[in-house]
């Protein structure tokens, strides 16, 4: 049985920090599915199709990484794709507390799915999609903070 992990997020856009966690996660899992959540209540900077393409283009050299959009509960999507693990990156103590709560709730809902945390490499710790979006809004060059597949118009 292969070890499949889901790396969920909005990836609006995918950052170098995300890529760091995904590529390091490949040492632990046979396959990582990047699940791009679609929340109708959330206003995204980039449409879902662009976010999917950004991730695919940024990780094209890793055939063990797939990209799929999903709606609904993350644990339900895990069951659909036969993932027994959720991979998450943690930059700091605030991230950890937030992610810990979600992991505990996910485990309460579906005990067969485990969450695995990887600590972000120090070089990527200050990078977040929220900050990158703000930089984009103000016309800054974000090329060192996003995946090489992110094409800004």
Active site residue 84: no
Structure tokens at 104: 């505990």
For 91-128, give the secondary structure using H, E and C.
CCHHHHHHHHHHHHHHHHHCCCCEEEEEECCHHHCCCC
Which of these is catalytic: 31, 58, 88, 129?
Answer: 129
Query: Which among 31, 51, 88, 91 is annotated as catalytic?
Result: 91
Instruction: State yes or no: is 133 an active-site residue.
Output: no
From the list 45, 61, 41, the residue with the least C-alpha distance to 11 is 45
Q: Is 121 a catalytic residue?
A: no
- Catalytic status, residue 129: yes
Annotated catalytic residue, options 2, 42, 138, 153: 42
> Which residue of the set 18, 31, 51, 88 is catalytic?
18
Sequence-ordered list of residues with C-beta below 8 angstroms from that of 96, at least 6 positions apart, any chain? 90, 117
Query: Are 64 and 26 within 8 A, CB to CB?
Result: yes
Active-site residues, by number, are 18, 42, 91, 129
């Amino acid at each position: 049985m292969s070890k499949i992990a889901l790396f969920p997020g909005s990836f609006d856009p995918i950052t170098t920090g995300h890529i760091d966690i995904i590529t390091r996660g490949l040492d632990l899992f046979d396959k990582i599915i990047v699940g791009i959540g679609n929340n109708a209540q959330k206003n995204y900077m980039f449409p879902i199709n662009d976010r999917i393409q950004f991730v695919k283009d940024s990780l094209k050299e890793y055939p063990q990484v797939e990209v799929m959009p999903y709606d609904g509960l993350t644990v339900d999507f895990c069951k659909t794709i036969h993932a027994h693990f959720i991979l998450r990156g943690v930059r700091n103590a605030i991230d950890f507390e937030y992610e810990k709560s979600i992991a505990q709730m996910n485990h309460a809902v579906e005990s067969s799915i485990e969450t695995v945390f990887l600590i972000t490499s120090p070089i990527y710790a200050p990078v977040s999609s929220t900050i990158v979006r703000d930089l984009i809004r103000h016309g800054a060059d974000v090329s060192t903070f996003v995946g090489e597949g992110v094409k800004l118009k």
